[in-house]
């Protein structure tokens, strides 16, 4: 009695639906094309709307579909490759990175961030907000936490606000000698504010990239960047030629 009684069980409807729809997307639809609405699709497949939606959710999670309230469901373009490699040790804001400064606030470090910074929960940190734009769309929202102690010279211009202040913080950071960084990627769901920046609903799936910048053996800053999981593929260019143009838009099942 092998444990592999493969497929004795009936496949769930939504799973089968997802497969069928996925194949239809490959063969019968072009990128950007609008699908029939959910009520019609459900009727056509003879299932309840909730079941149909379960299949659509999966396909959206996989980056095959894009749904917008009040508009409709469209065939998504292939995921865009976003380079997140640490091109040599580099501070944020250096060189030509595609980040756009939003603003800067001062607050107590949130518990998980404080732990990464190896400082107390109520230590003051500068919080710089940035948004990453690629191919005309916002792909990531970032919060960069910089302990006040990392940029001691900054207090002089404490009066400035918004992007001006954010710029000042980054400028101070770049004066420090960066030892190294460590980094982690995990799945998360967008907080309300991030969701707004990314033009998604709260709870949308995101890839959270946490980066710790080390100076003189101690963490000097922590960045928490949330990338849209539906539209992004994070690339780590260990080799020279990354961002290969594998654009499978003309994928055809034939």
Partner DNA sequence: GAGTGGTCTAGACCACTTA
Partner DNA sequence: AAGTGGTCTAGACCACTCG
Binding site for DNA (CB under 7 A): 9-10, 12-15, 35, 37-40, 46-51, 53-54, 67-73, 201, 203
CB of 67 to DNA, least distance (A): 4
From a copy of itself, DNA, none, interface partner of 70 (C-beta below 5 to 8 A by class): DNA
CB of 42 to a copy of itself, least distance (A): 16
Using CA atoms, how far apart are residues 44 and 228, in angstroms rounded to an integer? 31
**CA 128 remoteness from chain centre:** 17
Yes or no: say if 73 and 34 are a contact pair by the CB < 8 Å rule: yes
172 binds a copy of itself (CB under 8 A): no
Helix (H, G, I), strand (E, B) or coil at 74: strand
* Residue with token string 């091109």: 87
Backbone angles phi, psi at 206, to 5 degrees: -135, 155
Using CA atoms, how far apart are residues 58 and 38, in angstroms rounded to an integer? 14
From DNA, a copy of itself, none, interface partner of 62 (C-beta below 5 to 8 A by class): a copy of itself
From a copy of itself, DNA, none, interface partner of 22 (C-beta below 5 to 8 A by class): none
Binding-site size, a copy of itself (CB under 8 A): 48
- Beta carbons within 10 angstroms of residue 219's beta carbon: 19
Yes or no: say if 169 and 146 are a contact pair by the CB < 8 Å rule: yes
CB of 236 to DNA, least distance (A): 31
In the complex, which residues of this chain contact a copy of itself (CB under 8 A)?
15, 18, 58, 61-63, 79, 81, 86, 89, 111-112, 115-116, 179-189, 202-203, 205, 207, 212, 214, 229-230, 232-242, 244, 246, 248, 251
């Amino acid at each position: 009695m092998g444990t592999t009684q493969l497929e004795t069980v009936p496949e769930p409807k939504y799973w089968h639906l997802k497969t069928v729809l996925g194949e239809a997307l490959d063969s019968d639809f072009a990128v950007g094309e609008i699908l029939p609405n959910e009520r019609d699709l459900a009727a056509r497949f003879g299932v309840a709307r909730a079941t149909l939606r379960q299949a659509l959710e999966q396909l959206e999670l996989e980056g095959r579909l894009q749904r917008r309230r009040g508009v409709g469901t469209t065939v998504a373009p292939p995921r865009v490759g976003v380079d997140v490699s640490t091109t040599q040790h580099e501070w944020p804001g250096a060189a030509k990175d595609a980040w756009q400064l939003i603003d800067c606030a001062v607050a107590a470090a949130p518990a998980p961030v404080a732990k990464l910074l190896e400082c107390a929960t109520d230590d003051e940190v500068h919080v710089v907000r940035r948004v990453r734009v690629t191919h005309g769309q916002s792909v990531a929202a970032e919060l960069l936490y910089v302990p006040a102690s990392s940029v001691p010279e900054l207090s002089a211009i404490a009066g400035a606000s918004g992007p001006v202040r954010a710029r000042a913080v980054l400028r101070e950071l770049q004066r420090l000698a960066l030892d190294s960084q460590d980094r982690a990627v995990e799945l998360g769901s967008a907080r309300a504010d991030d969701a707004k920046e990314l033009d998604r609903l709260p709870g949308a799936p995101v890839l959270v990239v946490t980066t710790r910048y080390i100076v003189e053996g101690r963490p000097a800053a922590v960045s928490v960047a949330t990338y849209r999981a539906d539209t992004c593929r994070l690339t780590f260019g260990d080799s020279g030629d990354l961002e290969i143009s594998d654009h499978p838009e003309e994928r055809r099942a034939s």
